[in-house]
A and B are shown apart, each in its own frame.
Chain A
Amino acid sequence: MPELLDKVWIVPAIMALSFLIILFFGKRAGTRATAGIGIAAVSLCLLFSVVVAGQWINRVNNPPTGEKLAQDIVKANGLTPQNAEDVEAEANAATHDSGETAATASGTPTVTPIALELASTGAESAAGATASEEHGSGEHGSVPPVVRTVTWFQMGGISFEAGTLVDGLTAMMLITVCIISLLVHIYSTEYLRGDIRYTHYYAFLSLFTASMLFYVMSSNTLQMLVGWELVGVCSFGLIGHWWEEKKNSDAALKAFLTNRVGDMGLIIGVAITFFAAGANSFNVLHINEYALSGAANTTLLLVGGLCLFGGVTSKSGQFPLHTWLPDAMAGPTPVSALIHAATMVVAGVYLIARLYGVFFAGLGIGSSSLHYVAFIGGFTTIIGGLLAFVQTDLKKVLAYSTISQLGYMVMALGVGAWTAGVFHLFTHAFFKACLFLGAGSVSHACHHTFDMREMGGLRKKMPITHATFLAATLALAGIFPLAGFWSKDEILAGASSGQESAYTLMLVFGLITAFMTAAYMGRAYWMTFWGNYRGHAKPHESPKVITVPLIILAACAVFLGFTNFPTNFFGLKLPGGFTTRFEHYVEPTFAFPPLQHAEFTPWLAIASTVLAAAGFFLVYQYYAKNRGPHGLTGRSGLARAGYGFLENKYYLDTIYTDGIAGATKGPLARASNWVNQNVLDGVVNGVGTVARVSAGFVYKDIDQLVVDGAVNGSGSVSEGAGQFLRRIQTGKVQQYASILFAGAVVLAGVFVFVI
């Protein structure tokens, strides 16, 4: 098996190729061929991703020795990273004796398992030491990621590099993106059957996947920025897929523009981290390593981290820039699944996870009283969850649920529970994709409506959709033993006992959300699948093309939680090879802060499960048994006000459009008008008058007198001179010769008598 870890660029390249083929030949090839190309490309990518993941696992199990040797050499000599490559190549030559030595020539691709001055082995490495402690047996110390870079361009003495970085996080993201994308591709063949822009849709789907794959394997922040923006453009294209309706194109614009706000932060953050990295590098490992080394300027890191978090806020739908996310439901449902599960929105969470050193050191995770990341995340989970209660659109419930869950991930990263946050990203991708595709299946059966008031009783008519939706709902609500239970529980454990045990507020947020998630998902579930059918269509089960992806995703939602089985589960201690595998393979051990890993906490697991069950029970009583205070909004002004507050999404959109945009546009327009009338017009008119007067002066005095005078004068002078000189030119050779001799005589006289 060839080593794929340093050749992962192939994966996005395949998708980009698929994009180009579909774009240029899709229309001619027909719909079946278009979908076929897309599906084949994603399948190939999935295959490669699985191989990459396997090779990464193998690398973790058998840590490389040659590169370690190289690091030791580098460390001993205190070399700069540039020289490090050479040293490392020497080391490789010494141990591997492989073809890698040929890569030292500058400009050629170099296989660089980044060798910094970082303490890499043994007790000197904080990260390595933690990892070894954590795993007891010391299964692996520090496993450096596989980095392969080429020089992109050079400017001002800095060489900008492009490259791939593969570690457990990248491998995990590759697999997640490829699986979800593949299932979405398959599902879309039915869902988008007969669509007018079928080729366009598949082309964008390919590009979307390519961008996300490109993003997750970037080795430097500049490249991440490119992937990030590409993802944004693709989401714009896909959300506005049915742009004939103004609502849809507005939603696409809103998503794009809201993301611009955060992207500004990201760009500034990238620039700041570039300078904060000490060695003026965009390389994420350099940045992380330098941020954690303590040598970096903390103010710079704080500002850089906040700016980067601005990007995360918009992309991952954190408060207060989450407003684009529900509107993004205007796109086709499979796209919603892709955006909300594997691509786009998790880009922000991935950014925190990837540049964790910057966030850890800059925003003081686990060490200061400034719990900015955790607080925003926790707050977002609550406000997202509350909004989900008042939605009647099934997809919007899921959209707000996504906001809430993204907040969960950010909160986990903010409290220092890195693995928990990333693990939740992983499990959430599958059950959220399942929920979205399930909602699409329901809508496919019910005349393309997502209004839950026109559904109900679909349980018997669509058994497979119902079963998968139920599984994913339970997983999302965190019911034992589905995937969501494990990841959610890890987050709560991390908040309760991880860094300094200082996150009581986050723990409360997390528990409230656990309750709310179960409640709103239960509401959506009951309204859709129970009771009597209230719509006008004749619902029927969807074809296999739709149900098979649902079944696969539901299976993932059920079983994937076991990939990070806790070491001590109510006293059940499985052998080391079965527990915390996800943490073992995904959590970086290189340029990574020393984190405390929370142990499984029985009382929290019980509490969160009980809360989730309580949520289901209350909603069951309210919707299925019709108990409780119905019609409260009609009787109580307070309830009505609360409902209105939620229904208007906390008036955030109103604040943005009326408050910020509206309040600024009126005075701004008047001020602009005044400036235009008085300043600009004055300037323009003044300039005009001055120009006219000066032009008259120039014409009369300068042009007529000076210029024309000079021209005419030179003409008459040369004519007179010509008239005079023509008399000399007689054409007689001997006359010329006598003048010549006379001249010679004069010169001779000068030579003799004067000089």
Chain B
Amino acid sequence: MLVNQFLFLGAILFCIGIYGVLARKNAVLVLMSIELILNACNINLVAFGAMWHANDVSNMSGQVFALFVIAIAAAEVGVGLAIVLLIYRNRQSIDVNDVDLLKG
């Protein structure tokens, strides 16, 4: 089994995610792009896990790791959306460029 298709998919997803994080102004879309990056990683993990242990069904470490990442992503989205919601309440805007209070 070749993993390169999976890796290509992962790389594409990762690049889309990077673009979203760096280029989008909407904070919700930035969060969504971060989800894309995490899922690109998940694909890689599962793919490599399946490749290295194709003959050993009992070893599921890659898949299990992906499950951990999904759980952490859910938590991260929860916190991130709460922050976005509060920013919106205070400023009536969710443009990440407007939130620059730490400017030196």
Which residue numbers of A lie inside 8 Å of B, CB to CB?
Answer: 725-734, 737-738, 741
Q: Report chain A residues within 8 Å CB of B23.
A: 734
Report whether A731 and B104 are in contact in the complex, using a CB–CB cutoff of 8 Å.
yes
Against A, the Cβ 8 Å flags (1 = close, 0 = not) of B79-104 are 00000000000000000110111111
- B28 interface contact, C-beta 8 A: no
Q: Report chain A residues within 8 Å CB of B70.
A: none
Q: Report chain B residues within 8 Å CB of A731.
A: 99-104
Q: How far is the CA of A726 from the CA of B102 in the complex (A)?
A: 10
Q: How far is the CA of A737 from the CA of B34 in the complex (A)?
A: 11
Instruction: Report, as a range, how many residues of chain B touch the other chain.
Output: 10 to 19
Q: Report chain A residues within 8 Å CB of B97.
A: 732, 734
Q: Report chain B residues within 8 Å CB of A729.
A: 102-104
Report whether A741 and B104 are in contact in the complex, using a CB–CB cutoff of 8 Å.
no
Q: Report chain A residues within 8 Å CB of B99.
A: 731, 733
Q: How far is the CA of A730 from the CA of B101 in the complex (A)?
A: 9
Q: How far is the CA of A688 from the CA of B99 in the complex (A)?
A: 66
Report whether A737 and B104 are in contact in the complex, using a CB–CB cutoff of 8 Å.
no
Report whether B102 and A737 are in contact in the complex, using a CB–CB cutoff of 8 Å.
no
Q: Report chain B residues within 8 Å CB of A727.
A: 104
Q: Report chain B residues within 8 Å CB of A725.
A: 104
Question: Least Cβ distance of B103 to chain A in Å?
Answer: 3
Q: How far is the CA of A741 from the CA of B34 in the complex (A)?
A: 13
Question: Least Cβ distance of B5 to chain A in Å?
Answer: 21
17 other contacts beyond A725-B104, A730-B100, with CB at 8 A cut-off? A727-B104, A728-B104, A729-B102, A730-B103, A730-B104, A731-B99, A731-B100, A732-B97, A732-B103, A733-B99, A734-B21, A734-B23, A734-B96, A734-B97, A737-B21, A737-B22, A738-B22
Question: Least Cβ distance of A512 to chain B in Å?
Answer: 110
Question: Least Cβ distance of A728 to chain B in Å?
Answer: 8
Chain A residue with minimal CB distance to B23? A734
Q: How far is the CA of A443 from the CA of B103 in the complex (A)?
A: 105
List 22 A–B pairs whose Cβ atoms lie within 8 Å, in order of A's numbering. A725-B104, A726-B104, A728-B104, A729-B102, A729-B103, A729-B104, A730-B100, A730-B104, A731-B101, A731-B103, A732-B96, A732-B100, A732-B103, A733-B96, A733-B99, A734-B21, A734-B22, A734-B23, A734-B97, A737-B21, A738-B22, A741-B18
Helix, strand, loop or mixed for chain A's interface? Answer: helix
Residue of A726, A728, A730, A741 touching B22 (CB-CB under 8 A): A741
Q: How far is the CA of A738 from the CA of B96 in the complex (A)?
A: 14
CB-CB nearest 7 A-B residue pairs: A731-B100, A731-B103, A729-B104, A726-B104, A731-B102, A738-B22, A734-B22
Q: Report chain A residues within 8 Å CB of B96.
A: 732-734
Q: How far is the CA of A731 from the CA of B101 in the complex (A)?
A: 6
Q: How far is the CA of A733 from the CA of B101 in the complex (A)?
A: 11
Which residue numbers of B lie inside 8 Å of A, CB to CB?
Answer: 18, 21-23, 30, 96-97, 99-104
Question: Least Cβ distance of B18 to chain A in Å?
Answer: 6
Chain A residue with minimal CB distance to B25? A734
Question: Least Cβ distance of A382 to chain B in Å?
Answer: 104
Q: Report chain B residues within 8 Å CB of A734.
A: 21-23, 30, 96-97
Q: Report chain A residues within 8 Å CB of B102.
A: 729, 731
Q: How far is the CA of A741 from the CA of B99 in the complex (A)?
A: 20
Question: Least Cβ distance of B69 to chain A in Å?
Answer: 18
Q: How far is the CA of A444 from the CA of B100 in the complex (A)?
A: 107
Chain A residue with minimal CB distance to B99? A733
Chain B residue with minimal CB distance to A730? B103
Q: How far is the CA of A496 from the CA of B99 in the complex (A)?
A: 119
Q: How far is the CA of A728 from the CA of B104 in the complex (A)?
A: 8
Q: How far is the CA of A522 from the CA of B101 in the complex (A)?
A: 116
Q: How far is the CA of A734 from the CA of B102 in the complex (A)?
A: 13
Chain B residue with minimal CB distance to A722? B104
Chain B residue with minimal CB distance to A738? B22
Q: How far is the CA of A727 from the CA of B103 in the complex (A)?
A: 9
Q: Report chain B residues within 8 Å CB of A730.
A: 100, 103-104
Chain B residue with minimal CB distance to A723? B104
Q: Report chain B residues within 8 Å CB of A738.
A: 22
Question: Least Cβ distance of B78 to chain A in Å?
Answer: 19
Q: How far is the CA of A477 from the CA of B21 in the complex (A)?
A: 123
Q: How far is the CA of A726 from the CA of B103 in the complex (A)?
A: 8
Question: Least Cβ distance of B101 to chain A in Å?
Answer: 6
Question: Least Cβ distance of A407 to chain B in Å?
Answer: 99
Q: Report chain A residues within 8 Å CB of B18.
A: 741
Question: Least Cβ distance of B85 to chain A in Å?
Answer: 17
Question: Least Cβ distance of A721 to chain B in Å?
Answer: 12
Q: Report chain B residues within 8 Å CB of A733.
A: 30, 96, 99
Chain B residue with minimal CB distance to A736? B102
Question: Least Cβ distance of B6 to chain A in Å?
Answer: 19
Q: How far is the CA of A732 from the CA of B23 in the complex (A)?
A: 12
Q: Report chain A residues within 8 Å CB of B104.
A: 725-731
Chain A residue with minimal CB distance to B18? A741
Question: Least Cβ distance of A745 to chain B in Å?
Answer: 10
Q: How far is the CA of A148 from the CA of B104 in the complex (A)?
A: 82
Q: How far is the CA of A729 from the CA of B100 in the complex (A)?
A: 10
Q: How far is the CA of A727 from the CA of B104 in the complex (A)?
A: 7
Question: Least Cβ distance of B25 to chain A in Å?
Answer: 9
Most buried by B among A727, A730, A733, A738: A733
Chain B residue with minimal CB distance to A734? B22
Question: Least Cβ distance of A734 to chain B in Å?
Answer: 5
Most buried by A among B99, B102, B104: B104
Q: How far is the CA of A636 from the CA of B30 in the complex (A)?
A: 134
Q: How far is the CA of A681 from the CA of B103 in the complex (A)?
A: 67
Q: Report chain B residues within 8 Å CB of A732.
A: 96-97, 100, 103
Question: Least Cβ distance of B12 to chain A in Å?
Answer: 16
Question: Least Cβ distance of A731 to chain B in Å?
Answer: 3
Q: How far is the CA of A741 from the CA of B20 in the complex (A)?
A: 13
Q: Report chain A residues within 8 Å CB of B101.
A: 731
Question: Least Cβ distance of B45 to chain A in Å?
Answer: 18
Q: Report chain B residues within 8 Å CB of A726.
A: 104
Q: How far is the CA of A734 from the CA of B104 in the complex (A)?
A: 15
Question: Least Cβ distance of B29 to chain A in Å?
Answer: 12
Q: How far is the CA of A114 from the CA of B64 in the complex (A)?
A: 79
Chain A residue with minimal CB distance to B24? A734
